Structure 1
Amino acid sequence: MVTSPGDEEQEIVVTGEQEGYSVPDASTATRTDTPLRDIPQSTQVVPRQVIEDRQITRISDAVRNVSGVTVQREYGDYSDAYNIRGFTTYDTLRNGFQGFSTIVPSNNIERVEVLKGPASILYGQFEPGGVVHYITKQPLSEPYYAAEFTAGSYDYYSPSIDFSGSLTGDRKLLYRLNTAYTSSDSFVDFVERDVFSISPTLTYRFSDATTLALSYDYIQSDGVHYDGFAPDPRFFQAPINRFTGEPDGNDDETERHEINLTFLHRFNDNLEFRSNFAVSIDRSNNSIFRPRGLEDDGRTVIRSYERNLFNDNDIYTLQNNLIAKFNTGAIAPQLLLGFDWSEDTQENVNLFLDDGEVASLDLFDPIYGTPIPTQLNGTDAEFESRIETHAIYLQDQLTLLPNLKLLVGGRYDFVDNRTITQSYRGENILSTDDITDESFYDEAFSPRIGIVYQPIEPISLYASYSRSFAPNNARTASGTPIEQMHPFSTAMTTGG
Structure 2
Amino acid sequence: MQKPRINPLRTALLALLSAGFLSAQPLMAQDAAEQDQDRRSETPGSETNEEDAELDRLTVVGRLTRYSALKSDTPIMETARSVSIETERDIENKGALELADIYQYSAGVFGEVYGFATRGDWVRVRGLDVPEYRDSLQALFGNYNNARPHPYSIEQVEILKGPASVLYGQGSPGGLVNVVTKRPRIDLQPEVVFQYGSNDYMQVATDFGGALNESGSLIYRVTAVGRDADTMVDYVANDTTLIAPSLTWSPSPMTNITLLGSVQRSRGQAGAQFVPVQGTLTPAPNGEFIDESFFAGEPGFDRYDTDTDSITLLADHVFNATWSMEVTGRWTEGSADYRQAWPSFIPGRYVYNPDGSLYQNGTVPRTWYVSDASSEQMALDTRLRADFFTGELQHELMIGAQYQDVTTDNDSGSAYALGLDLATGRPDGNFGDEYWINLFDPVYGDIPPEALLQQFVSDGPEANTKDRGLYINDQVSIGNWRITAGLRYDDVSTDTGTQSQDDDAFSYSFGALYRFDNGLAPYASYAESFEPVVGVDSITGEPFDPQEGRQYEIGIKYQPRGIPGQVTVSAFDIEQTNLPNPNSQPGQFSQQEGAAEIRGVEIESVLRLGEFTVEANASRISTENAAGFRFQGVPRDQASTWLGWQPDGALSGFTAGFGARYVSETWDGYDDIRTPGYTLYDLMLGYETGDWRFRVNARNLTDKQYLASCLARGDCFFGERRTVVGTVAYRF
TM-score by length of 2: 0.60
Q: Which amino acid aligns with 2:119?
A: Y
CA distance in 1 between partners of 2:535 and 2:101 (Å): 32
CA distance in 2 between partners of 1:350 and 1:76 (Å): 21
Determine the structure 2 residue equivalent to 1:328: 390
Q: Is 1:302 aligned to 2:365, yes or no?
A: yes
Higher strand share: 1
The unaligned stretches of length 5 or more in structure 1 are 1-12, 421-436
CA contact (8 A) 2:118 2:269 kept: no
Determine the structure 2 residue equivalent to 1:166: 211
Query: 1:327 aligns to what SS in structure 2?
Result: strand
- Deviation per residue, 1:225-261 (Å, 9 max, x gap): 2332344323551222211111221111100111112
Greater mean deviation of Cα atoms: 357-366 or 337-346: 357-366
Q: Is 1:347 aligned to 2:386, yes or no?
A: no
CA distance in 2 between partners of 1:57 and 1:451 (Å): 38
Determine the structure 2 residue equivalent to 1:388: 466
Could you tell me which of 8, 15, 22 is aligned with 2:61? 22
Determine the structure 2 residue equivalent to 1:10: none
CA distance in 2 between partners of 1:453 and 1:386 (Å): 44
Higher relative contact order (CA 8 A, sep 6+): 2
Determine the structure 2 residue equivalent to 1:423: none
CA distance in 2 between partners of 1:114 and 1:46 (Å): 9
Change (3 A) 1:165 1:258: same
Q: Which amino acid aligns with 2:120?
A: S
CA distance in 1 between partners of 2:126 and 2:188 (Å): 42
Greater mean deviation of Cα atoms: 73-82 or 62-71: 73-82
Q: Is 1:469 aligned to 2:530, yes or no?
A: yes
CA contact (8 A) 1:25 1:36 kept: yes
Structure 1 segment 305-320 matched on structure 2, within 5 A: 305-308=368-371, 310-320=372-382
CA distance in 2 between partners of 1:380 and 1:337 (Å): 44
CA contact (8 A) 1:249 1:287 kept: yes
CA distance in 1 between partners of 2:93 and 2:279 (Å): 40
Q: Is 1:455 aligned to 2:541, yes or no?
A: no
Change (3 A) 1:219 1:379: closer
Structure 1 segment 53-452 matched on structure 2, within 5 A: 53-71=93-111, 72-73=113-114, 77-89=118-130, 91-100=131-140, 102-142=147-187, 144-235=189-280, 237-292=289-344, 293-296=350-353, 297-298=359-360, 299-308=362-371, 310-355=372-417, 356=429, 357=431, 359-374=435-450, 375-376=452-453, 377-378=455-456, 380=458, 382-401=460-479, 403-420=480-497, 437-452=498-513
Q: Which amino acid aligns with 2:478?
A: L
CA contact (8 A) 2:311 2:330 kept: yes
Change (3 A) 1:362 1:55: closer
Shift of 1:456: 4.0
Shift of 1:473: 1.7
Q: Which amino acid aligns with 2:202?
A: Y
Shift of 1:457: 3.5
Q: Which amino acid aligns with 1:302?
A: P
Determine the structure 1 residue equivalent to 2:84: 44
RMSD (CA atoms):
2.5
Determine the structure 1 residue equivalent to 2:45: none
CA contact (8 A) 2:308 2:334 kept: yes
- Deviation per residue, 1:273-311 (Å, 9 max, x gap): 112221111111111112124354331122111111x21
CA distance in 1 between partners of 2:101 and 2:386 (Å): 37
Query: 1:107 aligns to what SS in structure 2?
Result: helix
CA distance in 2 between partners of 1:121 and 1:216 (Å): 28
Q: Which amino acid aligns with 2:369?
A: E
Greater mean deviation of Cα atoms: 20-29 or 49-58: 20-29
CA distance in 1 between partners of 2:79 and 2:326 (Å): 22
CA distance in 2 between partners of 1:372 and 1:266 (Å): 62
CA contact (8 A) 2:69 2:158 kept: no
Aligned residue pairs total 463
CA distance in 1 between partners of 2:462 and 2:63 (Å): 44
CA distance in 2 between partners of 1:24 and 1:144 (Å): 20
Q: Which amino acid aligns with 1:273?
A: M
Higher helix share: 2
Q: Which amino acid aligns with 1:216?
A: G
Greater mean deviation of Cα atoms: 166-175 or 72-81: 72-81
Shift of 1:74: 8.5
Query: 1:246 aligns to what SS in structure 2?
Result: coil
